[in-house]
């Protein structure tokens, strides 16, 4: 918190400028992931393809591979970023994103069980992921409820649950044939490689149903962030509001997870990134844009930076996100206000 | 978040209370030894084909090559020995880690040390074709050492020191990051994945007795170093400054104890893959029974660790017939509720 607070109107124009820049970066990353790669597509060719012309080979690559993957990365990244910012603001702790506190593992375990044991796909798989995430969210919320250090205990409970669920997931991977298990592993790493228009439609529809709720939820979130007592004084019914926000956050995280798999650390990275760009203030739109940018950029790296091999996007976000989390820990340590 | 000072309150030796806990520890040790003997017998007799205790005895004392049941019992011997080695290594390593970090939540699985060992082994196999346990164990030491150093460095920088939360978070971050890299390796090679997915859950009985003989000296050395650190841990539970005041070279002794932990965790991971929660649960249960004096906790964890691992392994064989649940999954299923219960009972384990 700085002492000199700029006037509200100037703050708003700054945040609009930051978000516009972020949006431009997202569009740039989107364009790059559609046009660049082993078979580059020029702007003219792209326009021709979009205009309905059939360029042999290229049309297929763009329409059936790169474009759905980029759309899916955009949607999933935005959902994960939004979900992360929700939890971080709600629990007033930058480390409390759904992947760190085990909610992502709840979705993963339920989805892997659904995939390998019941051959679920599409909306039922999404529902399983949602219910798994929700179960973990309620469990760790219940475990951490009493006592003063709620945030810290919630994170620890989440880490414990995540370790258990990881064992369960690995056990499930041993119970099936190697091909099904390898598919599940690819999904578990977080991947855009199997993107289809069907999946884009599925995630898009889900988000279109939930996203309008994010606007009123955002204002409630800002009030809750002032502290429970203040929020109650302002006429907010704290407990049900918090439960509603948890449900919304879980829904966003679980829908993205169900379609692309748990892309590591995106939910965790986006909130702090957006907050930094916004001069230390939480900004949900900024977090969603940062999430989309992270996924698109990481997917581009995963596709093009490793020679012939095309890695799942989660490998890149995991490998880059972990050092960031460690760095954040060291930094909050030095300031002496860490968890 | 405060460092746990729960052990400090109970670790004060001396007086009549000490005599009492000493006697308690003796009885507990005896009970653990008996229970361990039963667990060994069960481990040798329970399985897809159950065999009676008499048969086990006959197979061990006067093996008859023509007898099929004897062959079944003998085939379970390496698995039982592995359970004994891995369990005692992990139990002791967990107790030592909690002593080093003065932290009730330290566990080689939670803190990412097993994950570091696992990634190093898999990378070595894939990239440099390192084969045989003689090579794997060195890779496991390397990975465990690097992971331990990184987690402890990250968590202990700054003035608050290595709190439970920071250690756990650093460990979780490391697990996730290393897991991503591991998945990348496994996705590029289906054969590696098929072999590794079984190892990754933590399994006993994948190694032969001759392979275990190669790892045993490292585990022995680690055990000796860890057992010799009891005085350090007792002093540390009073605080670093107090320990220095008692004339202990804190930095050097801690480093020796850390080497012990790396030897124990790396050896155990090389033998059975990453097995979590043993190192977390054992010291806590023992502490509940006999208090926080490390000169008793450390030797008793050598008995309680293998008891838990063998019990989990036997349970895993009978819980879902005809297949079996691997020991790493069973210890997680047993250990995670204990972890969560510790958080609930958080007043004692001050976080």
> Could you please report the per-residue DSSP string of B48-116?
SS---HHHHHHHHHS--TT-HHHHHHHHTHHHHHHHHHHHHHHHHHHHHHHHHHT-TT--TTTTTHHHH
Position B263 pLDDT exceeds 90: yes
> How far away is chain A from the Cα of B19, in angstroms, using its nearest Cα?
36
Q: What is the chain B residue with the closest CA to A147?
A: B346
What mean pLDDT comes out for the span B117-145? Answer: 85
Per domain, the residue ranges of chain A are 8-334
Are A178 and B150 in contact (CB < 8 Å)? no
How many Å apart are CA B29 and CA B299, to the nearest integer?
Answer: 9
**Closest chain A residue to B158, measured at CA:** A334
**Substitution target from A88, A166, A192, A301 for chain B, most B beta carbons within 10 A:** A166
**Is residue B48 assigned to a domain?**
no
Residue B62 in any domain: the answer is no
DSSP A74-105: HHHHHHHHHHHHHHHHHTT-TT--TTTTTHHH
pLDDT digits (tens, 9 = 90+) for A261-289: 889 889 988 988 888 888 878 788 999 99
What is the token pair recorded at A1?
Answer: 């918190």
Cα–Cα distance measured from residue B306 to residue A11, given in angstroms and rounded to the nearest whole number: 61
Separation of alpha carbons B184 and B180, rounded Å: 6
Give CA torsion, residues A10, A284, A270, B108, to 10 deg. Answer: 130
Phi, psi of A328 (to 5 degrees): -60, -40
- Report B:221-280 residues touching A (Cβ under 8 A): 276-277
Confidence band, pLDDT 50/70/90 cuts, at residue B346: low
How distant is the alpha carbon of residue A277 from its chain centre?
18
Per-residue model confidence as pLDDT tens digits over B57-76: 888 888 888 888 888 888 88
Q: Give the total residue count for chain B.
A: 351
More confident site: B206 or B16: B206
User: Does the beta-carbon distance from B158 to A330 stay under 8 Å?
Assistant: yes
Is the confidence at residue B10, as pLDDT, over 80?
A: no
End-to-end CA gap in chain B: 5
Distances (CA, A) of B124 to B131, B136, B198, B199, B327: 8, 8, 18, 15, 24
In the numeric block, the tokens 């300031």 are attached to: A335
Residue A252 distance to chain B (closest CA, Å): 21
pLDDT of B94 reads 93
The pLDDT, as a whole number, for residue A1 is 44
Whether the CB-CB separation of B296 and B19 falls below 8 Å is answered with: no
Contact A170 B200 (CB under 8 A): yes
Confidence of residue A235 (pLDDT cuts 50, 70, 90): confident
**Predicted pLDDT of residue A7:** 65
Average pLDDT of span A143-150: 59
The whole-angstrom separation of Cα A207 and Cα B170 is 32
Of A189, A326, A329, the CB nearest to B180: A189
Give the mean pLDDT of chain A.
84
Q: Give the residue carrying structure tokens 């074709």.
A: B129
Q: pLDDT-based confidence at A150, cuts 50/70/90? A: low
What's the burial of B318, exposed, middle or buried (CB within 10 Å: 0-12/13-18/19+)?
middle
Rounded CA separation B42/B61 (Å): 17
Among B154-158, B265-269, B278-282, the minimum mean pLDDT is found in B154-158
Record: contact A339-B158, CB cut-off 8 A: no
| Euclidean distance between CA atoms B92 and A127, whole angstroms | 43
Verify whether the Cβ–Cβ distance A95 to B1 is below 8 Å.
no
Q: Which positions in chain A touch B196 (Cβ < 8 Å)?
A: none
Output the pLDDT for position A321.
85
Q: Return the pLDDT at A181.
A: 87
Name the residue range of residue B114's domain. Answer: 79-345
Kindly tell me if the per-residue pLDDT of A222 is higher than 80: yes
CB contact under 8 A, B168 and A163: no
Instruction: Render pLDDT for B304-330 as a digit per residue (tens, 0 to 9).
Output: 999 999 999 999 988 877 778 889 899
The answer to whether the CB atoms of A317 and B180 lie below 8 A apart is: yes
Of B158, B335, B346, the CB nearest to A153: B346
User: What is the reported pTM?
Assistant: 0.82
Higher pLDDT, A117 or B110: A117
In degrees, rounded to 5, the angle at the alpha carbon of residue A126 between the alpha carbons of residues A122 and A130 is 175
């339920």: which residue's tokens? A110
Give the model's pLDDT for residue A208.
93
Write down the pLDDT at residue B19: 65
Query: Given this model, what pLDDT does residue B5 score?
Result: 40
CA A63 to chain centre: 25
Residue B230 placed within a domain: yes
Domains of chain B: total? 1
Which of B108, B152, B197 to mutate to test binding with chain A, by most A CBs within 10 Å of its CB?
B197
- B169 CB neighbours in chain A (<8 A) are 95, 100, 155, 159, 325, 329, 339
Q: Domain A8-334 is classified in which CATH homologous superfamily?
A: ABC transporter involved in vitamin B12 uptake, BtuC (1.10.3470.10)
Which of the pair, B317 or B13, is modelled with greater confidence?
A: B317
**pLDDT tens figures, B89-118:** 999 999 998 888 877 778 888 888 888 988
Q: State how far the Cα of A65 lies from the Cα of A85, in Å rounded to an integer.
A: 30
Check if the beta carbon of residue B164 is closer than 8 Å to that of residue B105: yes
**Crossing angle, helix A122-144 and helix A150-174, to 10 degrees?**
140
Tokens of A37: 């790669």
Between CA A170 and CA A112 the distance in angstroms is 10
- Could you count the other beta carbons within 10 Å of the beta carbon of residue B240? 15
Segment B287-312 mean pLDDT: 92
pLDDT of residue B127: 81
Tell me the chain A residues in contact with residue B339 when contact means C-beta distances shorter than 8 Å.
160, 163
pLDDT score, position B91: 94
Cα(A306)–Cα(A290) distance, integer angstroms: 24
Q: Do B177 and A321 touch (CB under 8 A)?
A: yes
A318 and B176 within 8 Å at the Cβ level: the answer is yes
Nearest of A76, A75, A44, A80 to residue A62 by alpha carbon:
A44
- Would the pLDDT of A182 be above 60? yes
Inter-chain touch B343–A315, beta carbons under 8 Å: no
Q: Is B34 on the interface with A (CB under 8 A)?
A: no
Q: What pLDDT does residue B2 have?
A: 38
Rg (CA), chain A: 20
B339 pLDDT exceeds 60? yes
Average pLDDT over every residue of A34-41: 83
- Residue B351, pLDDT score: 41
Indicate whether A2 pLDDT > 50: no
Quote the minimal CA–CA distance from B313 to chain A in Å: 14
Is residue B14 over pLDDT 80? no
CA A120 to CA A145: how far, in whole Å?
A: 34
The token pair that represents B159 in the structure block: 């003035």
- A-B contacts at Cβ under 8 angstroms: 181
How many angstroms separate the CA atoms of B10 and A47, rounded?
75
pLDDT score of A166: 87
Residues A321-332 have pLDDT tens digits of: 888 888 877 776
Q: Residue B333: which CATH number?
A: 1.10.3470.10
Contacts of B110 in chain A (CB under 8 A): 159-160, 163
Q: Work out the pLDDT band at B146, boundaries 50, 70, 90.
A: very high
- Position with higher pLDDT, B204 vs A25: A25
Alpha carbons B350 and B134: distance in angstroms, whole number: 42
User: Distances from the Cα of A132 to the Cαs of A111, A121, B78, in angstroms?
Assistant: 8, 15, 38
Does residue B16 surpass a pLDDT of 70? no
Contacts 24+ apart (CB under 8 A), B46-52: B46/B314, B46/B317, B46/B318, B47/B72, B47/B76, B47/B317, B48/B317, B48/B321, B48/B322
């Amino acid at each position: 918190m700085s002492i000199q607070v700029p006037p509200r109107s100037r703050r708003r124009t700054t945040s609009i400028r930051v978000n516009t820049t972020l949006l431009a970066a997202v569009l740039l990353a989107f364009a790059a992931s559609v046009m660049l790669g082993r078979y580059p597509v020029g702007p003219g060719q792209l326009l021709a393809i979009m205009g309905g012309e059939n360029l042999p080979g290229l049309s297929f690559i763009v329409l059936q591979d790169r474009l759905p993957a980029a759309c899916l990365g955009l949607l999933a990244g935005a959902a994960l970023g939004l979900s992360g910012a929700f939890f971080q603001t709600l629990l007033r702790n930058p480390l409390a994103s759904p992947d760190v506190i085990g909610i992502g593992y709840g979705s993963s375990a339920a989805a892997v069980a659904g995939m390998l044991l019941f051959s679920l796909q599409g909306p039922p798989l999404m529902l399983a992921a949602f219910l798994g995430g929700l179960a973990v969210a309620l469990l760790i919320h219940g475990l951490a409820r009493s006592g003063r250090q709620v945030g810290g205990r919630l994170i620890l409970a989440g880490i414990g649950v995540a370790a258990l669920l990881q064992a369960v997931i690995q056990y499930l991977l041993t119970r099936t044939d190697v091909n099904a298990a390898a598919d599940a592993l690819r999904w578990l790493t977080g991947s855009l490689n199997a993107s289809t228009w069907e999946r884009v439609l599925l995630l898009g529809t889900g988000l279109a149903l939930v996203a309008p709720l994010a606007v009123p939820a955002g204002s409630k979130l800002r009030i809750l962030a002032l502290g429970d007592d203040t929020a109650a004084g302002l006429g907010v019914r704290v407990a049900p509001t918090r439960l509603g926000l948890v449900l919304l956050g879980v829904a966003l995280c679980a829908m993205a997870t169900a379609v692309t798999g748990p892309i590591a650390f995106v939910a965790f990275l986006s909130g702090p990134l957006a907050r930094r760009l916004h001069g230390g203030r939480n900004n949900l739109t900024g977090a969603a844009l940062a999430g989309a940018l992270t996924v698109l950029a990481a997917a581009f790296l995963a596709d093009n930076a490793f020679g012939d091999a095309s890695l799942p996007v989660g490998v890149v976000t995991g490998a880059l996100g972990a050092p960031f989390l460690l760095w954040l820990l060291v930094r909050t340590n030095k300031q002496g206000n860490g968890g | 978040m405060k460092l746990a000072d729960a052990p400090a309150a109970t670790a004060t030796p001396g007086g009549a209370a000490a005599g009492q806990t000493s006697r308690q520890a003796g009885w507990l040790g005896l009970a653990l030894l008996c229970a361990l003997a039963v667990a060994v017998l069960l481990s040798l007799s329970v399985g897809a084909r159950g065999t009676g205790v008499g048969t086990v005895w006959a197979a061990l004392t006067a093996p008859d090559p023509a007898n099929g049941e004897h062959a079944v019992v003998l085939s379970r011997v390496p698995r039982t020995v592995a359970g004994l080695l891995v369990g005692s290594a992990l139990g002791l390593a967990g107790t030592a880690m909690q002593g080093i970090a003065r932290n009730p939540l330290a566990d080689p699985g939670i803190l990412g040390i097993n994950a570091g060992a696992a990634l190093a082994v898999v990378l070595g196999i894939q990239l440099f074709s390192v084969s045989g346990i003689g090579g794997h164990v060195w890779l496991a030491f390397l990975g465990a050492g690097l992971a331990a150093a990184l987690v402890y460095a990250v968590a202990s920088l700054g003035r608050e020191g290595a709190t439970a939360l920071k250690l756990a978070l650093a460990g979780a971050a490391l697990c996730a990051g290393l897991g991503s890299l591991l998945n990348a390796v496994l996705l590029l090679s289906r054969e590696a994945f098929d072999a590794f997915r079984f190892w990754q859950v933590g399994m006993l009985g994948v190694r032969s007795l001759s392979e275990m003989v190669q790892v045993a000296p490292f585990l022995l050395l680690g055990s000796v170093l860890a057992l010799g650190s009891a005085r350090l841990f007792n002093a540390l539970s009073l605080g670093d400054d107090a320990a220095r005041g008692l004339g202990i070279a804190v930095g050097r002794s801690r480093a020796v104890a850390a080497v012990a932990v790396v030897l124990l965790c790396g050896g155990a991971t090389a033998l059975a893959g990453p097995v979590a929660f043993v190192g977390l649960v054992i010291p806590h249960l023992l502490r509940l029974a006999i208090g926080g004096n490390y000169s008793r906790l450390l030797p008793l964890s050598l008995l309680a660790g293998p008891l838990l691992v063998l019990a989990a392994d036997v349970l895993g064989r009978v819980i879902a017939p005809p297949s079996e649940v691997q020991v790493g999954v069973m210890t997680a299923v047993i250990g995670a509720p204990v972890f969560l219960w510790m958080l609930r009972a958080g007043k004692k384990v001050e976080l």
